[in-house]
Amino acid sequence: MLQNELVTKALIMVVTCVVAAAVQMVASKAIRHAFTVGNVPKGSIFINLVRALIWFMALLSVLEPVFGVQPTAFVAALGVTSIAVSFGLQNTIANIISGLGLMIAHVIEVGDWIEVGSYQGVVTDITWRATTIRTLVGDVIVIPNSVLNTTMLRKLSPFSARSVIVPLDIHPEADIAEVERDVRESVEAAVVEWVDPDLGVLLIQQGYGSFGFRLDVKVGLRDMSDALAARSAIVRACSGRSWLARW
């Protein structure tokens, strides 16, 4: 009798786990499809929430037949326990709520280029507790969602996100128009294999500085993985020119 009861409980557990796993798989695919065809922000946080909800419902369904525990009593006890636990998980809860707020409000999405403090990179994922960005040089930065929600965040435009800037100090007696013409021709020839035709080369006059006239060369790239090579090419193209200010 006891053996049959144990077999029945084990069978219920196995069937419940199989059904929960199947439902989780179907739900995950449906969410990813919604991300693709709809205006829904991407990020693993939504899929993780759905997975957690599915397994929680599966747990509730086996409490009484397998463990002899009333689901209502379990939920009530869980509510009391969660109050105590929440005090020790304040940061985690804050990160989850902040991550949901950032995603639902479309503040950031996977693929966006952002700048937070001294870090700049592309958003690769938004999870339960943190947002992951990959910098220009390939470093992976993990930022708690609560920090993103309370810190000034700059969402970069395509030009800002896929561009390199090289500052030049121009001799104060140089002909600015002639310098700009020379810089544009030299830089365009130097970065032709990396520049995005839709973004191109932009010269920004910053006024006079300590060493002369300040001119920023900003080049929009097709791929940010070429940024270091493009920056080096710009420096080589402009080095040694007579109009450069001498330190």
pLDDT (0 to 100) of residue 110: 83
| Residue 98 forms part of a structural domain | no
Q: Which of 83-92, 188-197, 214-223 has the lowest mean pLDDT?
A: 83-92
Tell whether 181 and 201 lie within a shared domain.
Answer: yes
Is residue 243 assigned to a domain? no
pLDDT in tens, 67-78: 766 766 666 656
Quick one: which H or E segment has residue 216?
strand 213-220
* Domain annotation covers residue 245: no
Q: Are strands 140-144 and 153-155 parallel, antiparallel or unpaired?
A: unpaired
In a domain, 247, yes or no: no
| Mean pLDDT taken over the chain | 78
Indicate whether 81 belongs to any domain: yes
177-196 average pLDDT score? 92
- Report if residue 72 sits inside a domain: yes
CA 61/CA 18 separation, integer angstroms? 13
| Residue 184 near residue 241, CB atoms below 8 Å | no
Percent of the chain with pLDDT strictly greater than 70: 73
Residues 166 and 205 in one domain: yes
Say if 213 falls within a structural domain: yes
The Cα 126–Cα 145 span in angstroms is 8
Q: What is the pLDDT of residue 171?
A: 86
Q: Which segment, 198-202, 208-212, 223-227, is predicted with the most confidence on average? A: 198-202
Q: Both 126 and 179 in a single domain?
A: no
H-only helix segments in 63-175? 71-88, 90-104, 145-150, 158-161
pLDDT at residue 84 is higher than 70 = no
Domain containing residue 197 = 162-238
Question: Is there a single domain that holds both residue 176 and residue 199?
Answer: yes
Domain for residue 84, yes or no?
A: yes
For 47-58, the pLDDT digits (tens) are 777 777 777 787
Its pTM surpasses 0.95: no
Task: Place 34 in a pLDDT band, splitting at 50, 70 and 90.
Answer: low
In a shared domain, residues 188 and 149: no
Percent residues over pLDDT 90 in the chain: 14
